[in-house]
Structure 1
């Protein structure tokens, strides 16, 4: 959505929050192969998710970056970004790579990788210490974004 808003010039976005985002339909990263059979979003679920979105196009060269943002060649001009992911999340490697690409494009990025964290773990165990930390960091980032005057960054 942020890529489309940037490319159309409307609406102007001040911030994007990406909790363990699904970004790359190619499923070629090490973490996309190592997180399997765990009963939460794993390789099989991810392949099915991309198949549901893209059909037979999932994983082929012609997939549009608006559907799979990791395919975007140019990430410049995107809003400041908060991104988090668990160490044991299938999306770990693609999320870290995307955050790095955003930074290389001059986009301010706050990235958190949670040791021992799994996909949506804060929803499965909301009373856990890690869950409280995740929710706290997200709340803080959103509060800062909402209190930052437009065009001033972070």
Structure 2
């Protein structure tokens, strides 16, 4: 087993090599919007997982995740050979590509927060003219005249002085 620092250094180097190869060397149109986000290497340095994100041609277009995944699968061998040449390790790690869903999760959270804000705004509009139901102070005894009223005192059995 390699130490964790060596695995992190190798992951960083693989990240750089794969990102550079996708951007400048591999001419596959399916890789046009692919960005390498992160890379993780196992402790034995035999497997590397490359996380990627995909952007559409414009900000409004939905990215083609299937085409990007297929293009990465086609380029897997070329990328692995570039990693082997660029890292100089005895055993070149196998590459696994996983789509990074962080941006999807962020968009989902933003949508949920927007809905919560809208619900809060609706509640605030309703609450402006609302009055509480029932008595404003339901625990106050309105029959007594003061804090030492005769019916409230516990001195019923005590004779007068």
Greater helix fraction, Structure 1 or Structure 2 = 2
TM over 0.5: no
Indicate the TM-score class for this superposition, using the shorter chain for normalisation. under 0.3
Higher relative contact order (CA 8 A, sep 6+): 1
TM-score with structure 1 setting the length:
0.26
Mark the structure with the bigger radius of gyration. 2
* TM-score, scaled to structure 2: 0.25
